[in-house]
Amino acid sequence: MYRRSNRRRFVFVLLLLTSITLITLDMRGSSSGAIGSLRRGAHDVFAPIQSAADKVIAPVGDFFGGLTRYGHVKSENQRLKARIADLQAHGLVESDAQRQLRELTQLEQLTFAGDLKSIVARVVSTSPSNFQVTVELDKGTAAGIAKGMPVVSGAGLVGRVVEVSKERATVLLITDGESHVGVRFSESGDTGVANGAGARTPIQVGFVNAGTKVTTGEVVTTSGLQDAIFPPGVPVGKVRSAKPAADKLALDVTIEPVVDLSHLEFLKVLTWLPPAGP
């Protein structure tokens, strides 16, 4: 009895120590180390399985998704019916192919990316995680994507690449709690830092001087200040609210992303990397 109990504890302690060792190795090592290679390998092995499963299971997932969001789906259905009727009246109904073409054309005509080179990729899945807001792209290092590259849609900033394997890239969206974007207010030119607070939650902008004039609806773009992780001038969001902070020394500003992050299909990865530090 004692021997069995000791064996149980031994196995448990061994698993805990292995987990802690992996955490330590991952946190201390670079992405090009053994742990990074293991992660990239796992992504590449799982990618085709996931793609095949997505094709088969997607209708089931959509069905269950519809069940849990019945009220929302019903009101959305009514809204879309009204919209279709309106568009039919004006002869503007477009097919899915036309919509995709329009999205791709928008991506080809980015006004904010300047002459930066870019790679168009398709979103293949959204993360099931409750703690991270990420999407996965169908292209990786084989297409020239690298960790840290900014990702945009036709409207503005979506996020940045945080993991990349040969065939897949994981993009951390700007609403994720780990996302911090240096931003500039278009009217005053003052700067701040846009911190994600999770899906469905407005982005909080910190470090905004109390004297800054902020207007509701004003567009906020990436600041591109020294050591910024995004190029300058990419639209991030529109101001939703602004009020003095409790200590009166700063402004509490919230913004809504300019991109509809719940409906992402084609995105553009800008082949721009932050300048290396000194």
Partner 1 sequence: MNQPRLKVPLVLLVALVLHTAVMGHLRLAGVAPDLMVLIPIVGGLTSGPERGAALGFFCGLAVDLVVQTTPLGLSALAFSIIGYTVGVLEAGILRSSWWIPPATALFASAAGEALYAVSGALVGQTQLVTDRLATIVVVVGVLNAVFALPMLRIVRWSMRDGSAANARYV
Cα–chain-centroid distance for residue 221? 16
- C-alpha span between 70 and 64 (Å, rounded): 10
Give the footprint of partner 1 on residues 26-65 (CB under 8 A). 26-27, 35, 38-39, 42-43, 46, 49-50, 53-54, 57-58, 60-62, 64-65
Q: Which of 233, 230, 145 is nearest to 181 (CA)?
A: 230
Contact status: 245 vs partner 1 (CB under 8 A): no
Nearer to partner 1, 107 or 166 (CB): 166
Q: State yes or no: residue 177 binds partner 1 (CB under 8 A).
A: yes
Q: Which of 172, 239, 253, 261 is in the footprint of partner 1 by CB under 8 A?
A: 172
Q: Which of 58, 85 has the CB closer to partner 1?
A: 58
Structure token pair of residue 100: 């995709």
Binds partner 1 (CB under 8 A): choice among 6, 8, 37, 144: 8
Contacts 24+ apart (CB under 8 A), 99-105: 100/265, 100/266, 103/153, 103/154, 103/265, 103/266, 104/266
The residue from 118, 121, 125, 150 that contacts partner 1 (CB under 8 A) is 125
Burial class (CB in 10 A: 0-12, 13-18, 19+), 183: buried
Instruction: Give the residue ranges of DSSP H helices in the chain.
Output: 2-28, 34-68, 70-89, 96-108
Contacts with partner 1 by CB under 8 A lie at 7-8, 11-12, 15-16, 18-23, 25-27, 35, 38-39, 42-43, 46, 49-50, 53-54, 57-58, 60-62, 64-65, 68-69, 125-132, 134, 162-163, 170, 172, 176-178, 197-201
